[in-house]
Amino acid sequence: SAERGGENGSPIYPTRQEFLRYWNELQNSPRVDVRVFPQTSVLVLDGVPSAWIRNLYSIQTTLQVLKVYKAAVFRLPQFLFPVPRHNESVASAGPKKRNNVFYPKLSHLRLDHCCLGELTGLAGSLSRLPGVEYLSLQHNQIRDEKTALGGLRGSSVKLVRLDLRYNLLSSLPRA
């Protein structure tokens, strides 16, 4: 810890207990702070639980491609559009938005094998991403047409391709 201090400018090492606590946290619940990569335009998260991702909104002005594979995303709005914690102001914690538009450069969004379904907030989230041209929702739990297309109807989304393969849909009669 910093209180111990090293002699003659020598490095300060954590105690064994501090190191083991850090190692355990890193192994069981690591945090990936996206602020470390401020100019990221392509982000691929393969097998990384959404709960481990922090500050995704910090790259929302540069992000063009977001690919999330094999991650249980139970609350898509909280993942993409976080709300400030009780001790943060809206200006410092939340994403900067203009006319309710988030991720203005995001054109490709893949959320494959993410356990997305009727209760994950998928439909409402899509309408807030108008720049998305390619959307892949393969291998999820989508059963209902309203979940699959609800956020796209009546919105300004520029979708060119929608991939819903390997979901639980039987048909899309009003597609």
Return the pLDDT at 103.
Answer: 92
Is 49 a residue whose pLDDT tops 80?
A: yes
> Rounded to whole angstroms, how far apart are CA atoms 149 and 153?
7
* Ramachandran angles phi, psi of 65, nearest 5°: -135, 125
> Rounded to whole angstroms, how far apart are CA atoms 2 and 97?
39
Among 29-33, 61-65, 74-78, 99-103, the least confident range: 99-103
> Rounded to whole angstroms, how far apart are CA atoms 50 and 88?
21
Task: Name the pTM for this structure.
Answer: 0.76
The SS3 assignment for 23 reads helix
- Give the residues across from 112 on adjacent strands: 69
Return the pLDDT at 155.
Answer: 65
Q: Would strands 53-54 and 42-46 be described as parallel, antiparallel, or unpaired?
A: unpaired
> Rounded to whole angstroms, how far apart are CA atoms 52 and 9?
35
Tens digits of residue pLDDT in 107-139: 999 999 999 988 788 877 887 888 999 999 999
Is 90 a residue whose pLDDT tops 50?
A: no
In terms of Cα–Cα distance, which of 95, 40, 49, 94 is closest to 69? 49
Mean per-residue pLDDT over the chain, rounded? 81
Q: Would you give the end-to-end CA distance of the chain in angstroms?
A: 59
> Rounded to whole angstroms, how far apart are CA atoms 140 and 137?
6
Return the pLDDT at 10.
Answer: 60
Which amino acid makes up residue 91? A
> Rounded to whole angstroms, how far apart are CA atoms 37 and 66?
14
